[in-house]
A = this chain, B = another copy of it.
């Protein structure tokens, strides 16, 4: 596509006249697109296409969308159609995001600054503080990672899966790694750090959970060892004492177990668009479901 909007417009007027008969029947030279609520269109490519054919249809479609005043143009290419990445980039598209099985490209038609939504920027992890009534903490040693082979006992941790709630992820990780069933209590704290993976940031939620059983069934693939450990022994490990982050998190957990500490508890809520979400807040002083006044 020409970067000169005037010449592109001149071409597109001619092409549109040739391609769009009065009766509105779709011509085969255009790509199939679905409009969105933001004045844009999405092309969800599903079937194989020759890259030259794709180029020509994309050029014709862009001319039409430009005429129609469309804004953001999205092209979703399954990894099987990797042959179409280069032609899309040649027409001026940039990458937006990718998952293992597809690449999303985008093109902003207006001459104003783009208001396209940002890509996901954070990975989200959870750590689980689980204590029994003997003041023993559920701890593990991992088969992989930076602490492998060091003998350091740590809280069970893991990464949130696609579409998973923080509270559900904490319960799942404890169950997977140790076989212990738990009930979610609160988020005690969270940490934000940057450049944890390429240019991506990281949010890590420290969660308190209440155990429902106590007989550990450790997972063999990821976990080298698991046990109930006296809280004071856990806190006194040289690695925990030496590393500020671990030390602080440990102290917050122990404060919760001994004293008056209020974290954030989850409440299911409906968003403006009608989706189910969870709102996490300090419920000790505020119960919004009962009204404010």
| Complex: A244 Cα to B271 Cα, angstroms | 7
A85 and chain B: residue at smallest CB distance:
B85
> A115-B144, A264-B189, A279-B245 known; A79 and B95 CB under 8 Å?
yes
Q: Report the bound CA distance from A201 to B122 in whole Å.
A: 10
Task: Looking at the assembled complex, report how far the CB atom of A173 sits from the nearest CB atom of chain B, in whole angstroms.
Answer: 14
- Name, among A94, A115, A244, the residue most crowded by chain B CB atoms within 10 Å (CB to CB): A244
Q: Which of A90, A94, A189 has the most CB of B within 10 A?
A: A189
Residues in B with CB closer than 8 Å to A271 are 191, 193, 243-245
Assess the B203–A279 pair: CB atoms within 8 A.
no
Residues B198 and A97 in contact, CB atoms below 8 Å apart: yes
**Residue of A98, A262, A273 with most chain B CB atoms under a 10 A cut-off:** A98
**Residues of chain B lying within 8 A (CB to CB) of residue A96:** 98, 100
Answer yes or no: A43 CB below 8 A from chain B CBs. Answer: no
Residues of B within 8 A of A259 (CB): 285
Scoring A residues 182 to 195 as 1 if CB is less than 8 Å from chain B, else 0, what string do you get? 00000011111111
Chain B residue contacts of A200, Cβ below 8 A: 97, 120
Q: Which of B83, B95, B221, B261 has a CB less than 8 Å from the CB of A286?
A: B261
The answer to whether B201 and A203 touch across the interface, beta carbons within 8 angstroms, is: no
Give chain A's interface residues, CB within 8 Å of chain B. 79, 82-83, 85-86, 88-90, 94-104, 113, 115, 117-124, 144, 146, 159-160, 162-163, 165-166, 188-201, 203, 221, 235, 243-252, 254-255, 259-264, 267, 269-273, 275-282, 284-286, 288-289, 291-292
Is the CB–CB distance between B99 and A95 below 8 Å?
yes
The A interface, classified by DSSP as helix, strand, loop or mixed, is mixed
Q: Are A272 and B146 in contact (CB under 8 A)?
A: yes
How many copies make up the complex?
2
**A232 to B, closest residue via Cβ:** B293
Q: Which of B100, B123, B166 contacts A94 (CB 8 A)?
A: B100
- Ordered nearest first, which 4 A-B pairs have the shortest CB separation? A189-B281, A193-B277, A98-B98, A248-B288
What distance in Å separates the Cβ of A76 from its nearest Cβ neighbour in chain B?
9
Q: Contacts A99-B95, A120-B119, A244-B269; is A255 near B285 (CB within 8 Å)?
A: yes
Shortest CB-to-CB span from A95 to chain B, Å, is 4
In the complex, what residues of B have CB within 8 A of residue A243's CB?
270-272
Once A101-B94, A197-B117 are accepted as A-B contacts, the answer to whether A262 and B282 lie under 8 Å apart by CB is yes
